Structure 1
Amino acid sequence: MTDYPPADDRLKHLIAQQVNLGVDTWKLAFWIADGIVKDPEIRAELERIADAHSKGQPCGDRHCERCFAAALTETDR
């Protein structure tokens, strides 16, 4: 049994799967995903979001489902 996406390249594979919905070839999707994964600003943003979440703080991204759900839970109390 193989695990897909592979643990050592999971982020690129997950991005490529989404990009592949809008491009002509799987190869192009992987090329785009590779550029995204290797971009230092994107990596820094992912780390910033993960750091905020690990501390139980909102990340400040208005599209973050986790923070949106947490805000709803707090207002329901």
Structure 2
Amino acid sequence: MSYPPADDRLRHLLAQRINCHVDTWKLAFFIAGAIVDDSDVQDEIERIGAAHARGQHCGDRHCPACFKAVTGA
């Protein structure tokens, strides 16, 4: 079995990052779950993915992929 599990990868990846800033893994996993389950977050991930799939700038000024595309860095 690989980690993070393919069926819950986003939640686990977020929890790993959040865990550095909170006291417990359980809290990190709870916060990550709330983020992943939020419909606005899901819509934004879809919007960004669709723009990138079309080769367009996603409009997020902090997007590393778009920054690289514009600057060639």
Residue 64 of structure 1, CA deviation? 0.5
Larger-Rg structure: 1
TM-score normalised over the length of structure 2: 0.96
Q: Which residue of 1 aligns with 2:69?
A: 70
Paired AA for residue 12 in structure 1: R
Structure 2 unmatched runs, 5+: none
Between the two proteins, the alignment pairs up a number of residues equal to 73
Show structure 1 runs of 5+ residues with no match: none
- C-alpha root-mean-square deviation of aligned residues, in Å? 1.1
Q: Once the two structures are aligned, what percentage of the paired residues are identical?
A: 59
Residue 50 (str. 1) matches residue 67 (str. 2): no
Q: Which amino acid aligns with 1:13?
A: H
Q: Runs of 4+ in structure 1 displaced over 2 angstroms?
A: none
